[in-house]
Amino acid sequence: MKTVEDYIRTIPDFPEPGIMFRDVTSVLQDAEGFRLAVGEMQKKIEALEFDVIVGAESRGFLFGAPLAYNLKKAFVPVRKKGKLPCETIEETYDLEYGTATIEIHKDAIRPGQKVVIVDDLIATGGTIEAAIKLVERLGGEVVMVLFLLELAGLDGRKKLAGYNVESVVTYSGK
């Protein structure tokens, strides 16, 4: 029986020498791999009490939306600045070279709602740390942060200390 890790393609030296790029597109392009990935993520949250799944642009949408559908929960996208049509709040965070800004609709989360944040991968944790801040500014309570993949060597969990962080597959390196 295959595991999610069996569907993840590793590309050495991309985007630069020494990096082992973990490619989730190989999971998505295989029907059984995609079903297995969503199923394994679902096992981690199906016993939780929560109201909303928030997906981080863009690959968080690919895993968060089917989870929300399967579990009959609302789905809320967190997008790059300028992509949402209604009134938003934003959060800017640091990248390796520069900054990025993400947004959420002001009415996307109601005070007191319990939220699971989903993304495909945790590396340094900056994007999800910013997403948590957005959810909390709207009065939501983050009950779990869920990833398909974790690159433990980049210490992203440190930025998310104090939150319930889960991942399906963990790689020790970068």
Cα distance between the two ends of the chain:
27
- Annotation says 96 is catalytic: yes
The active-site residue out of 16, 49, 87, 96 is: 96
Percent helix, strand, coil in the chain, to 5, is 30, 35, 30
Torsion of Cα atoms, 79 then 84 then 86 then 88, to 10°: 30
The active-site residue out of 22, 59, 129, 150 is: 59
Structure tokens of 132? 């948590």
- Annotation says 22 is catalytic: no
Active site members: 59, 96
